[in-house]
């Protein structure tokens, strides 16, 4: 297996607060890896570092063998490193359909066509219709996202990430805030992801984690606590202590 | 957590799709309607053709501002830099080399576009107030250059002696302003068609995204700044054409065509009509300049105060501008925004 994403010694401190310290990991084609850890462990920060939203204090990130540590977030996206946001981050006045059109056009670098009609770009309508259908968003295709239910916004977040045809996909709590009836749809979509895609998913729901992941990484206070197969992690007493302990505190 | 989710689930069932198809169907009427209204004004107000011509050229300028502000979210008080540069370029061309009106428009558009491209690349990394200051600074610099280059621009006396050749070699610019007005109206309509096309293109869609959330655009692999620079340049072309159109139809170009107050006035007209709507630019310009004209003629001392009251009234009662009021009347509102 070729390593698609290699992270080495990644560190970040905000002022004095060490939110990521010396984190290393690799993700290969076809991997299904879960990143877990208590609230405030630094999971989202780790995603922000890897995707280039914030610069690291130390460490390197390689994508498909290429050092991307100094590339911008957009450049990493163009190389196939795509993430979804923990809190849905969408364009409030655009419709669901416009979001997907924009993502597909952007992916194909067709956004500098000043005089083309979006409605007539070849192949676009079909691809968007398929994305809408796969997430059950067809009935709300023409609804502005600002008036969409939160669960549906989450579905759109994922559809948007998929529209980019990623090589490495990072999902930050894709099911958070989604009603149970709709979270099944998200799981189904994740199950149907292309097999050779490398997926890293942050998730609190352990049922979901065990169903999805072949390997698990545990983060606590910005440090990599341990990593291993789902079985190993489930049996690890340290994980129970740190993870479950602070989970009960947090709620 | 669960309760929020359940509530959202219910809300989801209640949202109804916006009547997009219907809106689109009615949307195309706008431009023919403006053309028809323009022609009607030509027959009904033959005494006011000079004013109507100024309205048409100004509306094109305000339209360029709508692209920048309404679709790109770029705060600017320097759009007149492009307008004035286009006007001077067209005027200088006509006085020295070629007075064909279409050549003048082309050169004006080119000059406005180039200036916007260069200055946009330099200043569009900034946002908000910083950007506002930078756009004002660019306007001041352009005005100062025009002031100093007396030999070419006439300095503070203005550039006069612009005498455009007949349109297509057939229609003379007559002293009653018939040709001027019809020419200006035609250019405005073409400008609207072009702007509408751009707004609905993949590029227009991306620009809307940038104006709402530039970081989200980066997260799908786009570079917010390059969209803004291209949008600024395109709007610069339109502003330059509007400036050239003014040079063609009025025969003079003054320093105030590049000035701060002209930029600010355009902003007022745009907000009055409604931003991000294209037609708002035309309606706002017509309303502002029309009211201005009537009031200034009837009450030369207090018209400014009336204009102020008129503006306050519109902003208080129709925050989306005149066009939003018309849309509300027609039930054509966009899908409701910001539900949650
Ligand atoms: N920009 C910032 N400046 C300062 N501190 C920050 C910043 N962003 C995050 N933090 C801190 O870093 C720590 C890790 O936050 P992060 O959001 O990465 O946690 P998380 O593991 O994703 O938590 P959750 O499970 O709640 O999503 C927190 O203590 C947070 O307060
Ligand atoms: Mg998080």
In tens, the pLDDT along A155-183 reads 898 889 989 999 999 998 888 877 777 77
What would you measure as the largest C-alpha separation in chain B, in angstroms?
75
Residue from A88, A89, A86, A5 nearest A39 by CA:
A86
Query: Chain B within 8 Å of A78 (Cβ-Cβ)?
Result: yes
Q: How confident is the model at residue A243 (pLDDT cuts 50, 70, 90)?
A: low
> Which protein residue has the closest C-alpha to ligand 1 atom 16?
A42
Burial class (CB in 10 A: 0-12, 13-18, 19+), B13: exposed
Residues A113-130 have a mean pLDDT of 89
The confidence score (pLDDT) of residue A98 equals 94
The stretch A191-219 carries a mean pLDDT of 88
Burial category of A39 from C-beta neighbours within 10 Å (exposed 0-12, middle 13-18, buried 19 and up): exposed
Ligand 1 atom 26 nearest Cα: A39
Is the model more confident about A115 or about B14?
A115
Cα B194 vs. chain centroid, distance in angstroms?
A: 13
Question: From the CB of residue A249, how many other CB atoms can be counted at a distance below 10 Å?
Answer: 9
Interfacial A residues in 50-69 facing B (CB < 8 Å): 51, 53
Taking CB atoms and an 8 Å limit, are A91 and B213 in contact across chains?
yes
pLDDT higher than threshold 80 for residue A249: no
CB nearest A142 (choices: B20, B217, B336): B20
The finding on whether A103 has its CB within 6 A of some atom of ligand 1 is no
Distance from the B71 Cα atom to the nearest Cα atom in chain A, whole angstroms:
12
Q: Is A90 on the interface with B (CB under 8 A)?
A: yes
Comparing alpha-carbon positions, the chain B residue that sits nearest to A88 is: B216
A21 touches ligand 1 (CB under 6 Å): no
| Predicted local distance difference test score (pLDDT) of residue B3 | 41
Report the pLDDT value the prediction gives residue B166, as an integer from 0 to 100. 85
Q: Which of A36-45, A213-222, B317-326 has the lowest mean pLDDT?
A: B317-326
How far is CA B250 from its chain centroid?
Answer: 19
Residues of chain B falling short of pLDDT 70: 1-27, 330-340
Global model pTM greater than 0.90: no
Burial of B318 (0-12, 13-18, 19+ CB in 10 A): middle
- Give the pLDDT of residue A194: 84
Percent of chain A topping pLDDT 70: 96
Task: Give the Cα separation of B219 and A217 in Å (integer).
Answer: 24
pLDDT of residue A166: 92
Q: What is the model's pLDDT at position B8? A: 38
For B202, the closest of A89, A121, A140 (CB atoms) is A121
Residue A41: CB within 6 Å of ligand 1? yes
The ipTM (two decimal places) reads: 0.85
* CB-based contacts of B143, cutoff 8 Å, min separation 6: B81, B84, B255, B258, B259
């Amino acid at each position: 297996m070729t390593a698609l994403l290699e992270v080495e010694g990644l560190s970040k401190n905000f002022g004095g607060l060490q939110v990521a310290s010396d984190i290393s990991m690799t993700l290969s084609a076809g991997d299904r890896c879960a990143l877990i850890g208590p609230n405030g462990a630094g999971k989202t920060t780790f995603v922000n570092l890897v995707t280039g939203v914030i610069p690291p204090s130390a460490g390197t990130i390689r994508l498909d063998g290429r050092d991307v540590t100094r590339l911008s977030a957009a450049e990493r996206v163009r190389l196939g490193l795509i993430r979804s946001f923990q809190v849905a981050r969408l364009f409030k006045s655009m419709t669901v359909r416009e979001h997907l059109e924009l993502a597909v056009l952007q992916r194909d670098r067709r956004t500098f066509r000043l005089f083309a009609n979006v409605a007539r770009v070849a192949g676009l309508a079909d691809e968007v219709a398929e994305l809408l259908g796969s997430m059950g968003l067809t009935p709300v295709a023409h609804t502005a996202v600002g008036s969409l239910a939160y669960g549906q916004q989450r579905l759109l977040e994922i559809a948007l990430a998929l529209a980019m045809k990623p090589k490495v996909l990072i999902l930050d709590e894709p099911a958070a805030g989604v009603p149970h009836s709709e979270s099944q749809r998200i799981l189904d979509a994740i199950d149907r992801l292309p097999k050779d895609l490398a997926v890293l998913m942050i998730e609190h729901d352990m049922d979901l984690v065990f169903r999805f992941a072949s390997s698990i990484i545990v983060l606590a206070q910005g440090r990599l606590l341990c990593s291993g197969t789902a079985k190993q992690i489930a049996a690890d007493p340290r994980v129970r202590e740190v993870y479950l302990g602070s989970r009960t505190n947090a709620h | 957590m669960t309760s929020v989710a359940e509530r959202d689930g219910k809300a989801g069932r209640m949202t109804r799709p916006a009547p997009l198809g219907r809106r689109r169907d009615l949307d195309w009427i706008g431009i023919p309607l403006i053309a028809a209204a323009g022609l009607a004004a030509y027959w009904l107000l033959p005494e006011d053709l000079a004013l109507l011509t100024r309205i048409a050229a100004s509306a094109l300028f305000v339209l360029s501002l709508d692209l920048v502000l309404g679709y790109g979210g770029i705060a600017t008080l320097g759009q007149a830099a492009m307008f004035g540069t286009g006007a001077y370029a067209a005027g200088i061309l006509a006085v020295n080399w070629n007075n064909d009106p279409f050549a003048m428009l082309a050169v004006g558009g080119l000059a406005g576009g180039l200036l916007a491209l260069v200055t946009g690349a330099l200043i569009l990394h900034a946002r908000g107030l910083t950007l506002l200051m930078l756009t004002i600074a660019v306007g001041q610099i352009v005005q100062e250059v025009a002031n100093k280059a007396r030999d070419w621009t006439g300095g503070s006396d203005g550039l006069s002696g612009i005498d455009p050749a007949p349109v297509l070699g057939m229609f003379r610019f007559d002293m009653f302003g018939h040709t001027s007005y019809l020419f200006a109206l035609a250019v405005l309509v073409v400008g609207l068609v072009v702007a509408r096309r751009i707004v609905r293109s993949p590029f227009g869609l991306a620009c809307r995204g940038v104006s709402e959330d530039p970081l989200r655009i980066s997260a799908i692999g786009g570079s917010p700044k390059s969209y803004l620079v291209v949008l600024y340049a395109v709007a610069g072309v339109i502003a330059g054409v509007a400036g050239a159109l003014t040079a063609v139809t009025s025969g003079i170009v003054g320093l105030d065509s590049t000035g701060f107050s002209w930029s600010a006035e355009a902003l007022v007209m745009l907000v009055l009509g409604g931003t991000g709507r294209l037609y708002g630019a035309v309606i706002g310009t017509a309303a502002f300049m029309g009211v201005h004209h009537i009031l200034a003629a009837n009450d030369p001392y207090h018209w400014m105060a009336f204009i102020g009251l008129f503006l306050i009234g519109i902003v208080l009662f129709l925050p989306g501008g005149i066009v939003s009021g018309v849309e509300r009347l027609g039930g054509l509102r966009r899908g409701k925004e910001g539900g949650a």
